[in-house]
Amino acid sequence: MKTNFDEIIDRRNTNSTSVEGFRQYIFHDPDLKLPYRDEELIRMWIADMEFATPDCIVEGIRRRLDRRIFGYTRLFSPEYYGVFSAWTEKMYGWTFPRGDLYICGGIIPALNELVGYATDPGDKVLIFTPSYTPFKQAADFHGRECVCSDLVDRAHNGYFEIDFDDFRAKAADPAVKLLIFCNPHNPTGRIWTEDELRAVGEIAMENGLLILSDEIHCDLLRSGRTHTPLAKLFPGTDRIITCMAPSKTFNTAGLHFSNIIIPNEKVRAGWHAKHNFNVNPLALAAATAAYEHGYDWLMELREYLDGNFALIRDYLAEHLPKAVFRIPEATYLGWVDIGAYLDERTEFIPLLFAQHAGVLLEGGSTMFVQNSDTYIRLNAACPRATLREGLRRICDLLNSDVR
């Protein structure tokens, strides 16, 4: 492997949300005191990586820096579409017309906009739960009621599925007009099968729903897996809006750049009327370099993450045998049911681990909307030594009397 993913990189004093923002973001308390110094904490929470962005991207940004002027920038030349659509063709066997591609400063800002263009007052928005909380917030933000369909882990072995009876019933509510769909799914790590994707699309469309398919995790797969864009299975439909980004894949979330593919005229009209089309020239250079040159690095990253997940599986099996965990098919996020070890007095799982283990992680229902009371989410995109120490602390705490 050319890349040294074991390297520990100092992120202090970079205004990193992971390093400096956890008090506000997780605990809503900028003055929170913990019995650990900040540099002693193991950070396994927010979904960015402890790995350096690949050199090819840094070089792409550097080439753009050398042009020295960073004035207003928009997507005019066909270069970026060519590079990104070549990536989607190579990776997923799917492309889309150039005119459908829009750039936004993040998928969350895009969802926040799109819910407004895709729904009217009184309409409801459907999501699967547990969910990345900003999906619900995008509905709340517009005053649209959010309807949740709980995923089910029938055999309680960490394999989550859609409850299609429940989904069908909720999609049939005439007020439900929009599905925000996570493909692959954060936090359960599922890559939905083609049959599942077809069923989701068919049920949604039979009931006249639009679908926002958030595919931000689509490159972060276990080795040998493939991603199927939902829109690939429904060629010709204008009812699926696809969101992808280089940010999770290549650890560039701070550059704020995402691809929003909008074939739908109504939604596009709203976007054209209100969206700010400017893009950050350094982010555009980074995204272009990523999709043009980032493939080999990504394959190495996948291999390293495979190893990290094998470590989590083995460590938990040995030290926390009653935890329920399955290596996720996608994402770098492990979803672990620790219900067998929790005391009913535990009010906020992240605080338990921050105070008594010095580990920052997300967990419980307040962080994943619902259907996640006894779960923790472990970000495995860190050097193996960091991961090992995090696991040790988590297991030691759960095997002690403190919880």
**DSSP 8-state symbol, 221:** B
Q: How far is the CB of 129 from ligand LCS (least distance, A)?
A: 13
- Which of 240, 253, 380, 398 is the binder for ligand LCS (CB under 6 A)? 253
Q: Report the C-alpha gap between 125 and 194 in whole angstroms.
A: 23
Nearer to ligand LCS, 127 or 204 (CB): 127
* Residue whose tokens read 């996570």: 182
* Binding flag, residue 386, ligand LCS (CB under 6 A): no
Count of residues of this chain found to bind ligand LCS when the rule CB under 6 A is applied? 14
Q: How far is the CB of 175 from ligand LCS (least distance, A)?
A: 24
Q: Report the C-alpha gap between 87 and 67 in whole angstroms.
A: 26
Nearer to ligand LCS, 107 or 279 (CB): 107
In the three-class reduction of DSSP (H, G, I as helix; E, B as strand; rest coil), residue 359 is classed as strand
Q: How far is the CB of 383 from ligand LCS (least distance, A)?
A: 19
Stretch that binds ligand LCS, among 106-114, 218-226, 308-316, 393-401 (CB under 6 A): 106-114
* Binding flag, residue 247, ligand LCS (CB under 6 A): yes
Q: Report the C-alpha gap between 378 and 292 in whole angstroms.
A: 30
Q: Report the C-alpha gap between 358 and 34 in whole angstroms.
A: 8
Name the token pair of 79. 């270069």
Stretch that binds ligand LCS, among 102-110, 164-172, 345-353, 393-401 (CB under 6 A): 102-110
Stretch that binds ligand LCS, among 105-113, 275-283, 286-294, 338-346 (CB under 6 A): 105-113
Residue nearest to ligand LCS (CB): 106
Task: State which of positions 51-80 bind ligand LCS (CB under 6 A).
Answer: none
Alpha helices in 93-132 (DSSP H): 107-118
Q: How far is the CB of 135 from ligand LCS (least distance, A)?
A: 8
Nearer to ligand LCS, 214 or 329 (CB): 214
Q: How far is the CB of 48 from ligand LCS (least distance, A)?
A: 7
Q: How far is the CB of 350 from ligand LCS (least distance, A)?
A: 12
**∠ CA(174), CA(229), CA(278), 5° rounding?**
90
Name the token pair of 327. 């290596």
Q: How far is the CB of 124 from ligand LCS (least distance, A)?
A: 20
- Which of 50, 113, 150, 214 is the binder for ligand LCS (CB under 6 A)? 214
Give the residue from 136, 84, 402 showing the smallest Cα distance to 243.
84
Alpha helices in 159-279 (DSSP H): 164-171, 194-206, 247-250, 265-274
Q: Report the C-alpha gap between 229 and 216 in whole angstroms.
A: 11
Q: Report the C-alpha gap between 112 and 403 in whole angstroms.
A: 38
In the three-class reduction of DSSP (H, G, I as helix; E, B as strand; rest coil), residue 321 is classed as coil
By the 8 A CB rule, do 354 and 306 touch? no
Q: How far is the CB of 358 from ligand LCS (least distance, A)?
A: 20
256-295 mask for ligand LCS (x: CB under 6 A)?
A: --x-------------------------------------
* Binding flag, residue 132, ligand LCS (CB under 6 A): yes
Nearer to ligand LCS, 308 or 341 (CB): 308
Q: Report the C-alpha gap between 172 and 359 in whole angstroms.
A: 43
* Binding flag, residue 106, ligand LCS (CB under 6 A): yes
Q: How far is the CB of 367 from ligand LCS (least distance, A)?
A: 9
Q: Report the C-alpha gap between 116 and 19 in whole angstroms.
A: 33
Q: How far is the CB of 206 from ligand LCS (least distance, A)?
A: 25
By the 8 A CB rule, do 285 and 270 touch? no
Burial status of residue 109 (CB atoms within 10 A of its CB: 0-12, 13-18, 19 or more)? middle
Q: Which residues of the shown chain bind ligand LCS in the complex (CB under 6 A)? A: 46-47, 106-108, 132, 182, 186, 214, 216, 245, 247, 253, 258
